[in-house]
Amino acid sequence: MKTRLALKINAGAKRTQFAGRHGDAWKLRVAAPPVDGKANAAILKFIAQIAGVRASEITIISGQTSSTKLLEIEGIDADSMNRAILMSNEESHAT
């Protein structure tokens, strides 16, 4: 099982967290700067943590150097991924 996840990235934020929707994509604020692949590495680590998978199970299909990215995530379906994102939002707003 796998799913695709469209993201609109805002790099250099205070902390890494989801920030709602942007059309069909999820907006993701990333604390890492968009330099030398640091933001991409932070995105993979964060999404892996949210999805409960290894970062190696996530592939950036498109947008390697863009703020609009499409990821493919092994080991989780679309509904479970969306629930995990919503739960991570609730947890980040509770702190």
Q: What is the CATH number of the domain that holds 63?
A: 3.30.1200.10
Task: Print the domain residue range for 85.
Answer: 2-94
Residue 39: C-alpha distances to residues 31, 46, 83, 87, 90 (Å): 8, 10, 23, 22, 23
Q: Give the Cα separation of 50 and 47 in Å (integer).
A: 5
Q: Give the Cα separation of 48 and 88 in Å (integer).
A: 12
Each residue of 15-51: pLDDT tens digit? 999 999 999 999 999 999 999 999 999 999 999 999 9
Give residue 93's pLDDT: 59
Q: pTM score, two decimals?
A: 0.92
User: Percent of the chain having pLDDT more than 90?
Assistant: 93
Bridge-based pairing of strands 25-30 and 17-22 is antiparallel
Contact in structure between 7 and 72 (CB atoms under 8 Å)? no
Instruction: Quote the number of domains for the chain.
Output: 1
